[in-house]
């Protein structure tokens, strides 16, 4: 049968927080029996946007990562819940029953994504419910998707086979595949948050002037093996992305027509701007 999935495009999220505000608007001071108790006005972000800066001036970027209940098929919170406090609906949505879950703080600790929040006043664990109450009332998407101006959040309902094709076609990834939770929230361009880059700029001096070198061939190697290659843009810049952090030593080999070859060694921890390389 068709089930709900959420697709988050990290490259499109601008940290506008409209999805966060929509969640608060829907749930603060509003009880939805059978779905969720009222959300506290302060202290909870059922949609929590994290940020990550990469690189250094003048080559740097920042990514924003919305983290929320992943509606896992293999949900650790369900394993820790007692008395049927958490259920998984046939459409894939996970619901923490606001009555049965009272006092069960262990549910908060069970979530490896830190996406379950403890309501101290009500003594219940709470999480983003995919706006299941609205979907059951005929809405086509949760509010987080309907208000997203950049299309960073999309909700789709399809069977697992169709969604597997979507994952392959769009290059979607789990936030933490090592958790083994089988989440129904998938991320696009996740490398902007969890991978690193090596970049730099190529320049040359001629007649007393220093100019950017366009079209220089740059090869990235590690332990003598070629990892990737690219060409500098009109500003002489190049970038190799989607590299693993703390992955050690790399070599940049730069070949520009009319100039001697140049090699630069880089040790990669976090993202690195190798600077202006003069050939």
**Domains (range + CATH), the chain:** 3-193 (3.30.70.20), 196-278 (2.60.40.10)
C-beta separation of 69 from 75 below 8 A = no
Q: What is the pLDDT of residue 1?
A: 85
Write a three-state SS string for 135-203.
Answer: HHCCCCCCHHHHCCCCCCEEEEEECHHHHHHHHHHHCCECCCHHHCCCCCEEEECCHHHHCEEEEEEEE
Residues 173, 168: Cα–Cα separation, whole Å: 9
Residues 145, 135: Cα–Cα separation, whole Å: 12
Dihedral, 66, 172, 249, 197 alpha carbons, nearest 10: -60
Residue 206 banded pLDDT, cuts 50, 70, 90: confident
Portion of the chain with pLDDT greater than 70, in percent:
100
At 62-111, the pLDDT tens digits run: 999 999 999 999 999 999 999 999 999 999 999 999 999 999 999 999 99
The tally of CA atoms less than 13 A away on the side-chain side of residue 254 is 29
Residue 139 banded pLDDT, cuts 50, 70, 90: very high
The tally of CA atoms less than 13 A away on the side-chain side of residue 98 is 19
C-beta separation of 196 from 59 below 8 A = no
At 242-259, the pLDDT tens digits run: 999 999 999 999 999 999
Residue written as tokens 């909700």? 155
Residues 198, 189: Cα–Cα separation, whole Å: 17
In Å, what is the CA distance from 31 to each residue of 79, 138, 174?
Answer: 26, 19, 31
């Amino acid at each position: 049968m068709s089930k709900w999935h959420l697709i988050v495009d990290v490259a499109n999220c601008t940290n506008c927080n409209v999805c966060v505000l929509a969640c608060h608007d829907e749930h603060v001071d509003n009880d939805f029996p059978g779905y969720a108790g009222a959300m506290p006005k302060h202290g909870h972000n059922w949609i929590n946007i994290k940020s990550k800066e990469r690189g250094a001036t003048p080559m740097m970027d920042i990514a924003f990562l919305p983290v929320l209940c992943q509606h896992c098929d293999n949900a650790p919170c369900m394993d820790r819940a007692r008395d049927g406090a958490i259920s998984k609906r046939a459409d894939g949505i996970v619901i923490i029953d606001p009555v049965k879950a009272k006092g069960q703080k262990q549910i908060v600790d069970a979530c490896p994504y830190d996406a379950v929040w403890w309501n101290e006043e009500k003594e219940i664990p709470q999480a983003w419910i995919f706006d299941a109450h609205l979907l059951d009332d005929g809405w086509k998407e949760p509010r987080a998707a309907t208000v997203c101006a950049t299309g960073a959040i999309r909700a789709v309902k399809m069977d697992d086979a169709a969604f597997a094709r979507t994952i392959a076609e769009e290059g979607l990834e789990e936030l933490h595949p090592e958790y083994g939770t089988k989440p129904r929230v998938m991320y696009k361009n996740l490398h902007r948050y969890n991978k690193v880059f090596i970049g730099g700029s190529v320049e040359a001096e001629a007649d007393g002037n220093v100019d950017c070198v366009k079209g220089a061939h740059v090869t990235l190697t590690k332990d003598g093996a070629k990892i990737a290659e690219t060409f500098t843009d009109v500003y002489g810049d190049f970038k190799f992305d989607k590299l693993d952090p703390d992955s050690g030593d790399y070599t940049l080999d730069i070949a520009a027509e009319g100039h001697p070859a140049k090699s630069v060694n880089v040790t990669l921890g976090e993202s690195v701007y190798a600077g202006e390389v003069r050939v």
